[in-house]
Amino acid sequence: MADPLPMFAPDALDARIHDPALARAVEAALRRADAERWVERLHDRDGTLWSEDPEVQARIANRLGWLDAPRDFGDQVPALEAFGEGIRAAGFTAALVAGMGGSSLAPDVLADAFRDIAGWLTVRVLDSTDPAAVEAAWDGLDPLATLVIVATKSGTTTESLAFQADAWARIHAALRAAGERRESPADLMIAITDPGRSLEAIPHHDGLREVFLNPEDVGGRYSALTYVGLVPASLLGIDLDAFLATALAMLGRTHATTVADNPGAALGVTLGALSRAGRDKLTLVADPAVARFGAWLEQLVAESTGKHGVGIVPIAGEPLGEAAAYRPDRVFVRLALDGAAPPAATPAGTPADELLEALAAAGHPVLRIRLADPIDLAGEFVRWEVATAFAGAVLEINPFDEPNVTESKENTRRVLAELERTGAFPAPVALAQGDGLLLVGDSTLREGSGDGTLAGELRRHLARAREDAYLALQAFVAPTAARAELLDRLRRILRDATGRATTSGFGPRFLHSTGQLHKGGAPIGWFLQITADHPTDVEIPGRPFTFGQLVDAQAIGDFEALEAHGLPVLRVHLGADVDGGLASLERALRDALA
């Protein structure tokens, strides 16, 4: 391969694009963006950058408040820091963020990257409705020393309000046990939401300890530098002045009118152009210290670009393989933190950066981003928000709506209504069962002819994956480190055997993240849904269903949504032994691929 063409300013984007055809495609997109003044139009809030429809342009204009967030919220730093100090002085030792998607992913990034600041609060994120996950979120926490953060942009998010109802009951019981008759659970809760109807929809909103009202013109996935991220940051003890200074510095650099000099525009135009050229699998290779950034990036990219039959597929957390394991549909982004441990080497022992050099030499585009300090994550939030907006322009879609995201939610509501009416979920029709597993197929699998064995039905399902597919593992089980490791093993097995990119996510978190891409993006997804029994369930106060029933209904609803789009989906039910069931699934999958 030829040496990469010098398309970008050294401080804008470190890109290794050796393939001449791909380099030409990127250069053409850069020239178009310059000629059509894309940078000026973004910062002028010009909706014509994404649509010719005046109604769509008006809606877009009301979704660009994130461009003001680093500056506007800088004025709130004294109040935010005083709030954090006050919470610590009041005796709180932990905070629990009860939110989903855009309300939980940025706090999760910060809670992991800044978890070691001494003397400040432990911040946990609860974004799973599996009853075991709800219990695990509270494990070891004192309900009377834990601040519950109810985070929901709409004020009506089913999961957030269920978490609030559960927390209210836990705190109420702890107050009674402690003999505290005058205090209310509301004294230990705050809310982050939008003004007006959103606030009014949150139970007990008028009695909560504090309410933080976000600008209405900031969408959930673009809200990292609003109260959504900054309130948890204040409780973690992050220096908010320094944090927002890195965001402001990056925002200033994204005003560079020549796209090749602009770190956000250069990245976005490049990713959009590469996607249109067939490199639509954006693979993040991150140091473990900043690996949680990948989950935030998944939602931003997938929900923003995955619609109207196109989209960039973010691949976060996939274990590294040797160069031969990757098809020519990848673009790699290396996110490194100075002084941090690198990602794990390949099974053959090839270090991550050595592998990326080999991939670049073989024609895979490789982009590199280096952070000097975790505080620079604020700047990365800005860079990627700007980049995603420009990638949307290249793909000729509106990156600020999510037209398919309600499909699974509507199905879930219907399934829960039927549960309340009949007292049971519909009985599944098994394709195969054994070794503790039960397989349930979509209509194509049910109407076809298989051998009725675990390996045979998995093999039949695998045969339906398109050549350009991504293979998605959707685990509606409580997340643990051991289960994440098992899912990673399954990803490696699938990727190495088929060459296809793999994703994985714990449900229902991914419904608020990559779910839009699954239904609205290019119809190239292949889905393996994983569910389990709930030996110990948790009631949701005031609801006619439990957490176990809620997560099961969400799994059923998403299965039906994927099936309705004609996408190949197979459910693997693990029974009561989740970890043993995942081990059984690994054995069956190896047999299917043998």
pLDDT score recorded for residue 251: 98
pLDDT in tens, 235-277: 999 999 999 999 999 999 999 999 999 999 999 999 999 999 9
One-letter amino acid at 349 equals G
Burial class (CB in 10 A: 0-12, 13-18, 19+), 421: exposed
Flag whether the pTM goes above 0.95. yes
Edge-to-edge order in the sheet of strand 569-573: 430-434, 437-441, 569-573, 525-531, 470-475, 501-506
pLDDT score recorded for residue 116: 85
Q: Domain extents for the chain? A: 14-49+257-395, 68-238, 406-593
Rounded CA-CA distance 589/279 in Å is: 28
Burial class (CB in 10 A: 0-12, 13-18, 19+), 177: exposed
Least Cα distance to 534 among 570, 574, 486 occurs for 574
pLDDT score recorded for residue 7: 83
**Fold identical between 68-238 and 406-593?**
yes
pLDDT score recorded for residue 3: 54
Residues in the chain with pLDDT values less than 50:
none
pLDDT in tens, 95-126: 999 999 999 999 999 999 999 888 899 999 99
> Six-digit token pair at 361?
């030499």
Rounded CA-CA distance 514/297 in Å is: 10
**Cβ contact 452:432 at 8 Å:** yes
pLDDT score recorded for residue 5: 55
Give how far Cα 295 sits from Cα of 15, 286, 400, 504, Å: 23, 11, 18, 10
Rounded CA-CA distance 229/221 in Å is: 11
Dihedral-angle region of residue 435 (phi above 0 means left; psi in -120 to 50 means alpha; beta otherwise) = left
Burial class (CB in 10 A: 0-12, 13-18, 19+), 507: buried
The domain made up of 14-49+257-395 has a fold known as Rossmann fold (3.40.50)
CATH 3.40.50.880 fits 406-593, yes or no: no
Q: Taking the domain 68-238, which CATH number applies?
A: 3.40.50.10490
pLDDT score recorded for residue 173: 96
> Six-digit token pair at 504?
């994985």
Which of helix, strand or coil describes residue 546?
strand
Sorted by sequence, the CB contacts under 8 Å of residue 428 that are 6+ apart come out as: 438, 440, 571, 573
Our CA dihedral for 403, 572, 535, 125, rounded to 10 degrees, sits at -40
